[in-house]
């Protein structure tokens, strides 16, 4: 470590503060000039940050349900660390793009300070350390990423901090400082894994190197500290990984396929290995790169035949440490099929230290002037990348402010929807071919900005699913003069646009002229399935006032039915209708959340007075139901306390028949659609289930239908524990919400009431494996194999079980 006195440290901190303030000034001027619409990735990240902001409105550190809801927000490889860091800035400064980007100032400070301390420790040279910190501000790639909102910059910051701690800890003597660094290292590793699961690759090789050196030198206390760090890291990130590990893996594998689709060079080609190195000159800036290498060459020539070159060996181990970290990170990143300069961003603080070391190899007045000129020129290069200066063309990653928000009035489109649906959450189907300005992610972000009242969703790209999608959306956006892709995807887009614009059930709600003269049109349902209106009525008791249904219903069909419910806002918003059509022999259900769970007017919106909810829905009559007369009974289930209240309704009797047709019916609600899929789950037919569930989650972006199923199923199972349909429906709901303890308990109950069904045992075994309980899984797989040994999934699950048990011999035996 450096032996600087207190005054030198204070002077350096002032310099670091000035460096940070310069970065702040550049970045905030850029955002002041910018009024752009965030593109795909940025919108996805910003919307996710807003949902974290929403969760923290009801922060409850002692609530398991609160933590579960937090970890469920990020089920993919895009982990929650960056979004959680953004929440305080959204709370303090507002919920916009510019306000969210303020978190980058925190990351910039982390990088600057960490690089400074790392340089001091490795080179014992404050000039090199401060130069590296300056480089971290001047590198064009870091300047571009700072003026954006992506998880890569936050990942870079926490990796740089952790690598600095690792470096100092590796060489520290056993003592109070060493144990303190051990804790910090564990926290850092945990946060890296909470920033992006693949982030660990940047410290993987140096960490292994450190462990090998501890073993070789028999530094057993250091090995104990390393174990403690890993335990701390796991404690920090285990809950998120334990809940999401399977979706993390699948989403990461899918993301790796993106490179193939986008034409990124393969790792088995020379182009694949040169992809990142050839971008270094532009990303770090030619002035810094050329001068640093030039000084190195002069240094080597000057001291080629003298003993002064030996002085360089003073920092030989430090240079090897940095080079090994950089080269190993480059090799691992190059092995991936999906390549982008952002993916190696954590390498640039290391590069800054390596170049700063070369930059300061020779000390004299002439080289000092050269260095100063280089820094000034590099500053100009950075500004040229961020602002429209009348200079030479910058590298391909140039990031200029623009004002396309004025040309694409997406906020007006969202306002039109919220103005029309004052008391409802709306779902917008996005038909146009995705562009950086108009796509489902960007529209979803603007909907989140509007107090989360509108969600943007992409419609199907398959012709066979067009009719189904059009049944479940009530808002659509189209655009003129679009170049459609060839193949089924383009044909589907054309068909969707044509059907929407010609539909007699839809009404043009607004249109806006876009750049190049084409139009963006907004269509909405003339007769939406749910209408909410405020009424002048002093009675606020919940009441099912009207049921309109045909006197004759047809088996195996969706039959139209209308309901009108009145009550206070909170009662309606938190209410579920338990509707049962029954006779002496049998019954069918039409349970659903009031307003299909879409009553919403804002986070803190709780309007006073009485409201009426009109529902135009469909009820499905199972084909196994006996024919005859059925009468309706109705209960109100309150989500807030699980209490039920009997509803006074007029006597309504219908005649169920197997003759006749239903001319036109609304789509069946998702609670009952999921109940139908439960029958397939019972039979082990899971392929169609997950295809349909993917659509359901598009139709209900909040997945409230799953919460409705939880309440309804648990209510009925209290008195009908052997009701297999509700049990399997609840299995689906709990599985999709990753409610592992509840799911295990429910499946255990199923093995009692459906003991001869091998798939029940397989499902229980799968959940045990998901929960890292291979011994319990093995027991259930053995029962399933006895019942039906030829199920294809058995072999795979048994292999996974043996791997989890660390029994490779059994694994190979199973494979044979």
pLDDT 10s digits, 181-199: 999 999 999 999 999 999 9
Evaluate whether 370 touches 170 at the Cβ level (below 8 Å).
Answer: no
Q: What is the mean pLDDT of residues 724-743?
A: 95
Average per-residue pLDDT in the chain?
A: 92
Percent of the chain past pLDDT 90, that is, above it, reads 82
pLDDT level of residue 813 (50, 70, 90 thresholds):
very low
Residue 507: strand pairing partners: 524
Distance of CA 547 to the CA centre of its chain: 41
Q: What is the mean pLDDT of residues 416-435?
A: 95
Architecture of domain 404-525: 3-Layer(aba) Sandwich (3.40)
pLDDT level of residue 71 (50, 70, 90 thresholds):
very high
pLDDT level of residue 561 (50, 70, 90 thresholds):
very high
d(CA 381, CA 680): 61
Q: How many residues does the chain have?
A: 816
**pLDDT of 533 over the 70 cut:** yes
At residue 816, the pLDDT reads 32
Which has more pLDDT, 3 or 317?
Answer: 317
How far are the Cα atoms of 203, 557, 651, 654, 734 from residue 621, in angstroms, in the given order? 59, 6, 20, 12, 25
Evaluate whether 763 touches 771 at the Cβ level (below 8 Å).
Answer: no
Which has more pLDDT, 263 or 523?
Answer: 523
Q: What's the longest Cα–Cα distance across the chain?
A: 106
Residue 579 phi/psi, 5-degree rounding, is -110, 125
d(CA 233, CA 231): 5
Evaluate whether 527 touches 505 at the Cβ level (below 8 Å).
Answer: yes
At residue 566, the pLDDT reads 96
First to last CA, the chain: 58
- Please compute, for residue 156, the number of CA atoms within 13 A of its CA located in the half-sphere on the CB side: 30
d(CA 266, CA 275): 10
**pLDDT of 261 over the 80 cut:** no
> Is domain 670-815 classified as CATH 1.25.40.10?
yes
- Domain positions in the chain are 6-385, 404-525, 530-657, 670-815
pLDDT level of residue 486 (50, 70, 90 thresholds):
confident
C-beta atoms surrounding 29 within 10 Å: 15
Q: What is the mean pLDDT of residues 306-322?
A: 72
d(CA 46, CA 83): 8
At residue 7, the pLDDT reads 73
pLDDT level of residue 141 (50, 70, 90 thresholds):
very high
d(CA 124, CA 132): 13
At residue 803, the pLDDT reads 87
Residue 717 phi/psi, 5-degree rounding, is -70, -15
At residue 149, the pLDDT reads 97
d(CA 308, CA 327): 28
Q: Which CATH number fits domain 530-657: 3.40.50.300, 3.40.50.720, 2.60.40.770, 1.10.275.10?
A: 2.60.40.770
pLDDT level of residue 811 (50, 70, 90 thresholds):
very low
pLDDT level of residue 487 (50, 70, 90 thresholds):
confident
At residue 537, the pLDDT reads 79
Comparing 530-657 with 670-815, is the CATH topology the same? Answer: no
pLDDT level of residue 483 (50, 70, 90 thresholds):
confident
Q: Which residues neighbour 368 within 8 Å (Cβ) at sequence distance 6 or greater?
A: none
**pLDDT of 414 over the 50 cut:** yes
pLDDT level of residue 722 (50, 70, 90 thresholds):
very high
pLDDT level of residue 610 (50, 70, 90 thresholds):
very high
Which 3 state secondary structure label does DSSP give 104?
helix
Which 3 state secondary structure label does DSSP give 474?
coil
At residue 396, the pLDDT reads 52
At residue 810, the pLDDT reads 40
d(CA 673, CA 592): 11
**pLDDT of 77 over the 90 cut:** no
Percent of the chain past pLDDT 70, that is, above it, reads 96
Evaluate whether 717 touches 745 at the Cβ level (below 8 Å).
Answer: no
Which has more pLDDT, 465 or 392?
Answer: 465
């Amino acid at each position: 470590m450096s032996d600087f006195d207190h005054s030198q440290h204070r002077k350096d901190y002032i310099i670091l503060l000035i460096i940070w303030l310069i970065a702040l000034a550049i970045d905030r001027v850029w955002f002041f000039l910018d009024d752009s619409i965030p593109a795909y990735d940025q919108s996805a990240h910003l919307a996710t940050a807003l949902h974290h902001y929403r969760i923290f409105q009801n922060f409850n550190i002692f609530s398991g349900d609160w933590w579960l809801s937090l970890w469920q927000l990020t089920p993919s490889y895009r982990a929650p660390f960056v979004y959680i860091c953004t929440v305080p800035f959204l709370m303090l400064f507002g919920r916009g793009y510019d306000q969210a980007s303020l978190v980058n100032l925190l990351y910039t400070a982390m990088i600057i300070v960490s690089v400074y301390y790392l340089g001091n420790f490795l080179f014992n040279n404050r000039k090199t350390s401060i130069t590296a910190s300056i480089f971290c501000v001047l590198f064009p790639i870091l300047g571009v990423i700072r003026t954006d909102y992506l998880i890569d910059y936050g990942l870079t910051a926490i990796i740089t901090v952790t690598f600095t701690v690792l470096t100092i800890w590796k060489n520290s003597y056993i003592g109070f400082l060493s144990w303190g660094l051990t804790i910090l290292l564990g926290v850092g590793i945990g946060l890296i894994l909470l920033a992006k699961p693949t982030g660990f690759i940047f410290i993987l090789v140096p960490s292994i190197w450190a462990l090998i050196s501890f073993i070789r030198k028999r530094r057993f206390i250091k090995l104990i500290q390393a174990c403690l760090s890993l335990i701390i890291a796991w404690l920090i990130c285990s809950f998120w990984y334990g809940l999401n590990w399977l979706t993390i893996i699948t989403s990461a594998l899918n993301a790796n396929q993106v490179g193939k689709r986008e034409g990124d060079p393969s790792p088995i080609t020379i182009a694949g290995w040169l992809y990142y190195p050839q971008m270094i000159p532009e990303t770090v800036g030619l002035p810094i790169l050329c001068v640093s290498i030039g000084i190195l060459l002069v240094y080597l020539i000057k001291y080629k035949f003298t003993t002064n070159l030996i002085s360089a060996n003073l920092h030989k181990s430090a240079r090897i440490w940095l080079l090994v970290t950089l080269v190993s990170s480059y090799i691992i990143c190059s092995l991936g099929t999906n390549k982008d300069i952002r993916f190696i961003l954590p390498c640039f603080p290391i590069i800054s230290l390596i170049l700063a070391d070369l930059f300061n190899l020779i000390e004299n007045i002439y080289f000092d002037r050269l260095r100063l000129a280089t820094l000034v020129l590099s500053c100009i290069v950075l500004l040229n990348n961020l602002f429209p200066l009348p200079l030479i063309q910058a590298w391909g990653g140039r990031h200029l402010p623009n004002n396309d928000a004025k040309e694409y009035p997406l906020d007006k489109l969202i306002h039109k929807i919220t103005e029309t649906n004052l008391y409802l959450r709306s779902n917008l189907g996005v038909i146009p071919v995705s562009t950086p300005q108009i796509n489902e992610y960007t529209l979803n972000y603007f909907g989140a900005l509007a107090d989360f009242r509108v969600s943007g969703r992409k419609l199907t790209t398959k012709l066979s699913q067009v009719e189904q999608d059009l049944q479940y959306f009530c808002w659509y956006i189209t655009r003129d003069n679009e170049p459609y892709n060839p193949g089924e995807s383009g044909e589907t887009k054309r068909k969707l646009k044509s059907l929407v614009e010609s539909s007699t059930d839809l009404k043009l709600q607004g249109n806006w002229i876009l750049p190049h003269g084409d139009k963006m049109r907004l269509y909405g349902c003339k007769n939406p399935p749910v209408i909410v209106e405020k009424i002048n009525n002093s009675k606020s008791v919940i009441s099912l006032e009207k049921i309109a249904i045909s006197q004759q219903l047809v088996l195996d069909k969706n039959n139209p039915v209308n309901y009108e419910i009145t009550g206070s806002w909170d009662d309606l918003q938190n209410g579920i209708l338990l509707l049962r059509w029954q006779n002496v022999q049998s019954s069918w259900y039409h349970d659903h959340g009031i307003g299909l769970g879409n009553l919403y007017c804002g986070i803190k919106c709780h309007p006073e007075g009485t409201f009426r909810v009109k529902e135009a829905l469909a009820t499905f009559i199972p084909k196994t139901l006996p024919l005859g007369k059925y009468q309706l009974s109705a209960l109100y289930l309150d989500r807030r306390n699980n209490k039920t209240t009997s509803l006074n309704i007029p006597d309504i009797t219908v005649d169920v028949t197997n003759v006749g047709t239903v001319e036109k019916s609304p789509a069946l609600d998702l609670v009952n659609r999921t109940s139908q899929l439960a029958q397939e789950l019972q039979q082990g037919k899971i392929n169609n289930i997950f295809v349909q569930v993917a659509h359901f989650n598009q139709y209900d972006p909040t997945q409230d239908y799953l919460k409705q199923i939880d309440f309804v199923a648990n209510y009925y199972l209290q008195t009908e524990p052997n009701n297999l349909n509700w049990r399997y429906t609840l299995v689906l709901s709990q599985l999709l919400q990753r409610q592992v303890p509840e799911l295990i308990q429910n499946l255990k109950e199923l093995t009692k009431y459906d003991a001869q069904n091998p798939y029940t045992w397989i499902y229980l075994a799968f959940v045990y494996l998901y929960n890292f309980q291979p011994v319990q899984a093995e027991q259930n797989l053995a029962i399933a194999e006895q019942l039906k040994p030829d199920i294809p999934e058995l072999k795979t699950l048994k292999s996974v079980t043996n791997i989890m048990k660390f029994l490779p011999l059994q694994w190979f035996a199973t494979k044979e």
